[in-house]
């Protein structure tokens, strides 16, 4: 029997390639770019994400600092802290790590970030720029999905892309990006009827729900590329939205862990360097 298992779309290889390109861009700048993370509380997952972003930033020559505020921080204090970081002329990129503790409102915090320093790309101005085809900062996970496709030669133009999940963080910006690349895009969500039939149409599937194994082998067209974004913890292990039997049907799959998450981290650093390049050019 030939081995029919899908090719693994290794996120580490993509992230390393991005880091190498970004390092060269940093070396060409007159000063190192500076990125500041704002984190509230002691959620271990958030702390770990910030650490990995900070580690990669420093590896490529980006100065990275983290402002940690206590769990009980109120909205006004958080807003004032974010504004102070944003207004610091020496800072090129600001990232408020989400989710915030439940008593805090995310929307005004994200809107307080200067769109040109908004390395997460969540500010409404950047959302508008993305959908209008204007240059701006684009959310990191969708940028990472595009980078994985480009790295592994997965065609987007004219292909059917089905994205399961329609959040502002992942699904919607991914739809805008794949549309920009001339794919035919469908966004599925919790009210989608016959999810399996919709997903089976796809040449490229993006699973961004956060429910272990929601995308199963029987829902996938043979040979399709499947990009697993969702993350859940099952019996203490991180698992994705893609069920193990998808590997027997698909042509290529991102592993979880070791796939999309690593590329998301690289894109935070790439966005910081892009922001710094623009600010340095504008100051000349
Ligand atoms: P979210 O805001 O909770 O959105 C989840 C989406 O899934 C919603 O659009 C929801 O539909 C949809 N959904 C829920 N149940 C569904 C069902 N039964 N069938 C079809 N769609 C369903 O989450 P998010 O922030 O986008 O994150 C999604 C997952 O990705 C999470 O597990 C998160 O941890 C992970 N994540 C990973 C990375 C990475 O780099 N790998 C980055 C960011 C997030 P409705 O809109 O109808 O409610």
Select from 9, 229, 241 the residue to mutate for testing ligand 1; criterion: most ligand atoms less than 8 Å from CB.
229
From the CB of residue 138, how many other CB atoms can be counted at a distance below 10 Å? 24
Q: What phi and psi, each to the nearest 5 degrees, are found at residue 208?
A: -135, 65
Q: In 3-state terms, what secondary structure has residue 283? A: helix
* DSSP states of 101-146: PTTS-HHHHHHTS-GGGBTT--SHHHHHHHHHT------HHHHHHH
pLDDT at 281 over 60: yes
Respond yes or no: is residue 97 known to be catalytic. yes
pLDDT at 201 over 60: yes
Distance (Å) from CA 17 to ligand 1 centroid: 27
One domain, residues 251 and 149: yes
pLDDT of residue 197: 98
Quick one: average pLDDT of 211-219? 98
284 pLDDT band (50/70/90 cuts)?
A: confident
Separation between Cα atoms, residue 111 and residue 35, nearest integer Å: 18
pLDDT at 1 over 90: no
Respond yes or no: is residue 237 known to be catalytic. no
Q: For ligand 1, atom 22, which residue shows the shortest CA distance? A: 190
**CATH number of the domain residue 56 falls in:** 3.40.50.10860
Separation between Cα atoms, residue 263 and residue 92, nearest integer Å: 21
Separation between Cα atoms, residue 234 and residue 184, nearest integer Å: 33
Q: What stretch of H or E contains 13?
A: helix 11-27
Q: Which residues line ligand 1 (CB under 6 A)?
A: 141, 164-167, 169-171, 188-192, 195, 208-211, 229-231, 260-261, 264
Whole-prediction pTM:
0.97
**Would you give the DSSP letter of residue 242?**
B
pLDDT of residue 3: 58
Residues ≥6 apart with Cβ < 8 Å to 57: 35, 63, 64, 268, 269, 272
pLDDT at 19 over 80: yes
Distance (Å) from CA 277 to ligand 1 centroid: 32
Angle at 212 between CA 209 and CA 213, to 5 degrees: 100
- Domain count for the chain: 2
One domain, residues 194 and 157: yes
Q: For ligand 1, atom 19, which residue shows the shortest CA distance? A: 190
Distance (Å) from CA 260 to ligand 1 centroid: 14
**Would you give the DSSP letter of residue 97?**
P
Residues ≥6 apart with Cβ < 8 Å to 132: none
- In 3D space, the residue among 167, 183, 177 whose CA is nearest the CA of residue 224 turns out to be 183
From the CB of residue 191, how many other CB atoms can be counted at a distance below 10 Å? 6
One domain, residues 160 and 87: no
Is 270 part of any domain?
A: no
One domain, residues 145 and 108: no
Is 215 part of any domain?
A: yes
- In 3D space, the residue among 66, 67, 68, 71 whose CA is nearest the CA of residue 104 turns out to be 71
Of 34, 53, 117, 172, the active-site residue reads 53
Quick one: average pLDDT of 51-68? 98
Distance (Å) from CA 80 to ligand 1 centroid: 30
15 pLDDT band (50/70/90 cuts)?
A: very high
The range of the structural domain enclosing residue 238 comes to 139-261
Q: Is the separation of the CB atoms in 62 and 26 below 8 Å?
A: yes
Separation between Cα atoms, residue 116 and residue 136, nearest integer Å: 7
Is 281 part of any domain?
A: no
Respond yes or no: is residue 120 known to be catalytic. yes
Provide the CB-side half-sphere exposure for 239 (13 A, CA): 14
- Residue where a domain terminates, one of 96, 113, 130: 113
pLDDT of residue 144: 98
Of 97, 159, 221, 228, the active-site residue reads 97
């Amino acid at each position: 029997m030939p081995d029919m298992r899908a090719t693994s779309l290794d996120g580490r290889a993509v992230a390393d390639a991005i880091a190498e390109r970004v390092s060269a861009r940093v070396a060409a700048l007159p000063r190192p770019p500076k990125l500041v993370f704002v984190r509230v509380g002691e959620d271990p997952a958030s702390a770990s994400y910030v650490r990995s972003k900070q580690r990669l930033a420093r590896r490529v020559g980006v100065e990275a600092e983290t402002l940690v505020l206590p769990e009980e921080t109120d909205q006004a204090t958080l807003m004032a802290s974010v504004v102070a970081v944003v207004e610091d002329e020496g800072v090129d990129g600001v990232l408020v790590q989400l989710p915030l503790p439940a008593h805090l409102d995310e929307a005004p915090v994200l809107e307080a970030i200067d769109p040109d320093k908004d390395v997460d790309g969540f500010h409404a101005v950047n959302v508008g720029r993305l959908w209008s085809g204007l240059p701006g900062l684009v959310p990191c996970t969708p940028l990472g999905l595009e980078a994985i496709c480009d790295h592994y030669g997965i065609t987007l133009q004219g292909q059917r892309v089905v994205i399961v999940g329609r959040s502002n963080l992942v699904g919607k910006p991914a739809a805008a990006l794949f549309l920009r690349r001339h794919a035919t895009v469908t966004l599925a969500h919790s009210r989608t009827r016959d999810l399996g039939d919709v997903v089976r149409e796809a040449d490229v599937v993006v699973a961004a729900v956060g429910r272990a194994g929601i995308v199963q082998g029987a829902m996938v067209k043979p040979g399709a590329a499947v990009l697993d974004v969702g993350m859940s913890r099952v019996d203490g292990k991180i698992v994705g939205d893609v069920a193990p039997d998808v590997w027997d049907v698909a042509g290529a799959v991102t592993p979880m862990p070791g796939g999309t998450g690593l590329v998301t981290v690289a894109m935070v650093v790439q966005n910081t360097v892009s922001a710094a390049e623009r600010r340095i050019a504008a100051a000349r």
